[in-house]
Amino acid sequence: MTTVPTVREVPIRAEIGIVQVRQAVREVAVSVGFSLVDQTKLVTAASELARNTLKHGGGGVAEIELEQRVGSTALRLRFHDKGPGIGDVELALRDGYSSAGGLGLGLSGARRLADEFDLETARGEGTTVTVTFVAAGPAAR
């Protein structure tokens, strides 16, 4: 397993940052041969997590990273913020739960869409959410 250095880092300080994250994720996904369905999953998860980073974390950064694996390419998205952290992770990951009046599908939806999901949070120190999507076979260059 070899990790290629971060492909792109996108700041999330305002709504435009969410758009820039979506665009960057789509560009990288297309460049390594993810299917249209997988591109849609990637962009959807990225959009939800970028919105959470801005809305709940007060902004932060998205990192887009490629990893070459045996027979596949993985695209890892990492969202960091220095916000208040998540008080109850189990509740926050529950479908339909929203602390801000939304649909409550951000974290839980991203977790369902991704092949791998990790969440690290500490009260008063922020949150890091990492999702990984794997393109297998000849489509992944």
Per-residue pLDDT reduced to its tens digit, 41-82: 999 999 999 999 999 999 999 999 999 888 889 999 999 999
More confident residue, 137 or 103: 137
User: What are the structure tokens assigned to 126, written together?
Assistant: 């922020």
Per-residue pLDDT reduced to its tens digit, 95-123: 765 655 444 458 988 999 999 999 999 99
Q: Strands, DSSP E only, in 92-136?
A: 116-122, 126-136
Q: Average pLDDT of the chain?
A: 88
Residue spans of the domains in the chain: they are 2-139
Confidence at 90, pLDDT banded by 50, 70, 90: confident
Give this prediction's pTM.
Answer: 0.88
Please, what CATH class does the domain formed by 2-139 belong to?
alpha beta
